[in-house]
Chains A and B, each alone.
Chain A
Amino acid sequence: MDLCDLSALELTQLLRQKKTSAVEILESTLERIGSVDGRSGVLDAGALSEEDKQKVHAFITLTDDRALEHAQKIDQQLARGEDPGPLAGVPFSVKDIFCVSGTPSTAASRILANFKSPYTATAVARMEAAGALMVGKVNLDEFTHGSSNESSAFQPSPRNPWDTSRVPGGSSGGSAASVAAGEVPLSLGTDTAGSIRQPAAFCGVVGVKPTYGRVSRYGLIAFASSLDCPGPVARTVSDAAAMLQVISGADEHDATSAPTPAQDYLSTIENGVKGMRIGLSPDYFKITYPDPQTGELLIQPLPAEIEKSVREAAEKLAALGAEIVEDVPMPNTRFGIPAYFVISRVETASNLHRFDGVKYGLRTTAPTADLTQMYRQSRNEGFGLQPKLRILMGMYVSAAQYSEEYYKRALRVRTLIRCDFEAVYDPNGKYRLDALLTPTTPTTAFAMEAIYGNSVLMQYADQLTVAANHAGVPGISLPGGLDESGLPIGIQLLGADFCEDKLFRIGRAYEQATESAEWRKIKPQVLR
């Protein structure tokens, strides 16, 4: 086993015991990236070679010089007997939707391809202040608009390390792929409808969507501001907890960051699940799909393998002393996608108006008669199809004559979704849950090009995750086994506001209970 295959907490321990150095850890990481990642994403990449199709392509930009300088500083601090921070020497990748001073911050869009941020996002600054080494910026769906990573303007787009003919999920697909392939133990992603949890499920890693406001959004290039949540992707629950501990907390630069203090998750993570009440909801065991011919929405049962993984997890947690509560009603879950189609589009149309070829980013080189034509031409050249689609829908459903019918109605449906969660976590209510246990995704990783282009079907990939974004509650996706094709299955825990500690406890207990399972011994394809 190489250093880069160890967990973040194992690496910090080895470093403090002086059994390795930050520079050695970084060298192992860069070697792994060199062997599995292939060429980085670029604009106008040309046709893919057969070799391209076998690689992961998680990264857009490598920041190895920055990481090396930081690693050397950490080794010097350790030599002087100083504390270099709780994540000292741990390599991490950053979804390229975060601004990092001096690095390209592209949002995987042509319109920001030449943008170098003059400042650094709070979550990234906190990781580096904790001693973590930023090794690069990873690919995503353009402006996070997707669930497969295929919409990136920077190609080749990431591929799933378990089967490189499959998507890694999205939009934090580069994050999940880089962690699954052992390129980094930690990655910073964002989750607006499931964009951390869905790719974590597809790539067999741990992904956390914290409570809205738990982690500052300062420096995050906004998609849907009332839904966006930065969060960790990791290979173990404890690593994810350690990372969230570092990046969470109030931030004077983000008025929506909660003043709730950051918690010491690691101090309670081994406390087990005895006495915890964990719910199963029938509303998460059925899925909705648009009929390809008619567009009618059809309800189907969840694939049997995925349901089996969730029910087996419930049995394991029951054996550890948790009380499993069946038949928990979450009746408004199915309205999550229709409401999201409205709310997220209105917010993104507003947020993307700032890209106009004036202050930063792409300006058309074509001759333009006036400012208006320059705006239009620059935005046409700079945005890909997915941002354009979302802007147009946002303009439509927020128009004065439709706002009551669509936007305001969607915001009221959001209240119903929130009420579902409040009812089941109410300590004086009928269910008094500590968490809901659900599948993360309606399918395992789908084939590249199988869905891309069908914007409705792609959006339904998030149908089991998006409700948590509407409600603002935290969620975690855990590896829960492999399907018959050897692809990872994700199981999800959803908790009450600011109760990430409980999700980590349950996740850790499940991780220990499945430690010796056969599927845990199987490595992703690119590492075999």
Chain B
Amino acid sequence: MSESITVDVFNHLVGLAALELAPDQADYLRTQLNHQLKVIDELKAIPLDENVPINLHGVPYEKASSALPREDIHKPFPDPRSILAQSPQVDDGYIIVPDIPHTTLK
């Protein structure tokens, strides 16, 4: 079976996905991706009239059947400390992270 997702393409995806994989995991995942892609390629054979629109969520959201937008009012969360408490590293109300790598914009 020809492989659309080559090792190079796969490694590029891993970077985009912000992952690091052990070699055995990478092998398994790349094999499964190529198997899945074979199923996905079934879509190419479907005759699609160019006027068929995209559908983002099944049920149509028309004006009458959609929720009104919320009022734009600031509602403070009652206990922000409980949110901060979930962060792996916090100091004096600030979330701490490792150094952000320097990037030179082109």
Are B33 and A389 within 8 A (Cβ)?
Answer: yes
Are A338 and B33 within 8 A (Cβ)?
Answer: no
Chain A contributes a number of interface residues (CB within 8 A of B) equal to 81
Are B17 and A471 within 8 A (Cβ)?
Answer: no
A391 at the interface (CB under 8 A from B): yes
Q: How large is the interface on B (under 10, 10 to 19, 20 to 34, 35 or more residues)?
A: 35 or more
- Known contacts A359-B87, A411-B54, A411-B55; A391 and B19 CB within 8 A of each other: yes
Chain B CB count within 10 A is highest, among A213, A356, A469, for A213
Are A389 and B89 within 8 A (Cβ)?
Answer: no
B56-103 with Cβ < 8 A to chain A: 56-59, 61, 65-70, 77, 79, 82-83, 85-89, 95, 97-101
What separation, in Å, do the CA atoms of A227 and B99 have in the docked complex? 38
What separation, in Å, do the CA atoms of A393 and B37 have in the docked complex? 9
Within the complex, the shortest CB–CB distance from B73 to chain A, in Å, comes to 11
Within the complex, the shortest CB–CB distance from A426 to chain B, in Å, comes to 14
Are B67 and A257 within 8 A (Cβ)?
Answer: yes
Q: Which residues of A contact B54 (CB under 8 A)?
A: 408, 411-412, 414-415
Interface string of A334-371 (1 = CB under 8 A from B): 01011101100000010001001111111100001111
Interface string of B20-55 (1 = CB under 8 A from A): 110001001100110111111111101010001111
Q: Which residues of A contact B16 (CB under 8 A)?
A: 395
B5 at the interface (CB under 8 A from A): yes
Are A118 and B86 within 8 A (Cβ)?
Answer: yes
Within the complex, the shortest CB–CB distance from B81 to chain A, in Å, comes to 9
What separation, in Å, do the CA atoms of A469 and B41 have in the docked complex? 21
What separation, in Å, do the CA atoms of A408 and B44 have in the docked complex? 11
Residue in B18, B39, B58, B66 whose beta carbon sits within 8 Å of that of A379 in the complex: B18
Give chain A's interface secondary structure class: helix
Q: Which residue of A lies closest to B30 (CB)?
A: A392
**How many cross-chain pairs have Cβ atoms below 8 Å apart between A and B?**
198
Are A470 and B87 within 8 A (Cβ)?
Answer: no
What separation, in Å, do the CA atoms of A356 and B99 have in the docked complex? 15
Are B21 and A380 within 8 A (Cβ)?
Answer: yes
Residue in A250, A376, A416, A418 whose beta carbon sits within 8 Å of that of B58 in the complex: A418
Are A371 and B97 within 8 A (Cβ)?
Answer: yes
B7 at the interface (CB under 8 A from A): no
A431 at the interface (CB under 8 A from B): no
What separation, in Å, do the CA atoms of A294 and B82 have in the docked complex? 52
Q: Which residues of B contact A357 (CB under 8 A)?
A: 88
Within the complex, the shortest CB–CB distance from A276 to chain B, in Å, comes to 22
B105 at the interface (CB under 8 A from A): no
Q: Which residue of B lies closest to A252 (CB)?
A: B70
What separation, in Å, do the CA atoms of A422 and B54 have in the docked complex? 16
Residue in B40, B53, B79, B85 whose beta carbon sits within 8 Å of that of A338 in the complex: B40
Chain A CB count within 10 A is highest, among B13, B39, B41, for B39
- Known contacts A337-B39, A341-B36, A388-B21; A409 and B86 CB within 8 A of each other: no
Q: Which residues of B contact A455 (CB under 8 A)?
A: 32, 35-36
Are B39 and A297 within 8 A (Cβ)?
Answer: yes
Q: Which residues of B contact A389 (CB under 8 A)?
A: 29, 32-33
Are B25 and A388 within 8 A (Cβ)?
Answer: yes
A77 at the interface (CB under 8 A from B): no
Within the complex, the shortest CB–CB distance from B54 to chain A, in Å, comes to 4
A397 at the interface (CB under 8 A from B): yes
Are B32 and A473 within 8 A (Cβ)?
Answer: no
What separation, in Å, do the CA atoms of A338 and B43 have in the docked complex? 7
A456 at the interface (CB under 8 A from B): yes
Residue in A250, A257, A335 whose beta carbon sits within 8 Å of that of B43 in the complex: A335
Q: Which residue of A lies closest to B9 (CB)?
A: A396
Are A295 and B1 within 8 A (Cβ)?
Answer: yes
A255 at the interface (CB under 8 A from B): yes
Q: Which residue of B lies closest to A258 (CB)?
A: B65
- Known contacts A392-B14, A396-B5, A415-B54; A259 and B36 CB within 8 A of each other: no
Are A358 and B65 within 8 A (Cβ)?
Answer: no
With A391-B19, A456-B32, A456-B36 given, can you name 10 additional A-B contacts, CB distance below 8 Å? A118-B82, A226-B57, A257-B67, A258-B66, A338-B41, A370-B100, A372-B18, A395-B16, A413-B48, A471-B58
27 example contacts (A-B, Cβ-Cβ < 8 A) are as follows: A213-B59, A335-B46, A338-B39, A342-B40, A358-B97, A360-B87, A370-B98, A370-B101, A372-B18, A372-B101, A374-B98, A376-B18, A379-B18, A388-B19, A388-B25, A392-B14, A393-B36, A395-B13, A396-B9, A396-B13, A396-B37, A408-B54, A409-B48, A414-B58, A416-B46, A470-B55, A472-B57
Q: Which 8 A-B pairs have the closest CB atoms?
A: A472-B58, A472-B59, A363-B88, A411-B54, A360-B86, A118-B82, A415-B55, A226-B57
List the interface of chain A (C-beta within 8 A of B): 115-116, 118-119, 211-213, 226-227, 250, 252, 254-260, 290, 294-295, 297, 335, 337-339, 341-342, 349, 353, 356-363, 368-377, 379-380, 383, 385, 388-389, 391-393, 395-397, 405-406, 408-416, 418, 455-456, 459, 469-473, 497
